Amino acid sequence: MISLSSSAFFVLLALLLSLAALLLYRLVQRQDNELDWTDLVATRGKLNAYKCGYWIGAFIGAWVVVKLTLTNHLDAGVFGAWLGFLAGVAVVSGMTGKDRPKHGVDDPDGGKP
């Protein structure tokens, strides 16, 4: 097990987060990019409550996991529940959305008479 002080942990975490933010920023700046920041919380330009709830749960869960790790109280059950939440929301969202009609696929003319 690696032993880190709290300050070293936060410095390492800040470096990793800044690297991830830099890579994501570079991806968004590319001309051939189809990713839009609003896609993280919206669907077709409308705010999506499920996506917002997912991010709130992900951040609260991450805070709980980091807090329990720093106090040496993290067990496999809490970590597994957090990973299950992260994966479960994606699976449920994918399953519920597959029955909806897709514009241009199920309705080629876009619903025009």
* DSSP string over 19-65: HHHHHHHHHHHSTT----GGGGTEETTEE-HHHHHHHHHHHHHHHHH
In a domain, 23, yes or no: yes
Cβ-Cβ contacts under 8 Å for 78 (sequence gap 6 or more): 64, 65, 68
pLDDT in tens, 18-60: 998 998 888 878 888 777 778 778 888 888 888 888 888 888 8
| Percent above pLDDT 90 for the chain | 4
Looking at the fold, whether 28 and 50 belong to one and the same domain comes out as: no
Looking at the fold, whether 64 and 23 belong to one and the same domain comes out as: no
Q: What is the pLDDT of residue 15?
A: 93
Looking at the fold, whether 31 and 47 belong to one and the same domain comes out as: no
Return the number of other C-beta atoms located less than 10 Å from residue 10's C-beta.
13
In a domain, 107, yes or no: no
Q: What is the pTM of this model?
A: 0.56
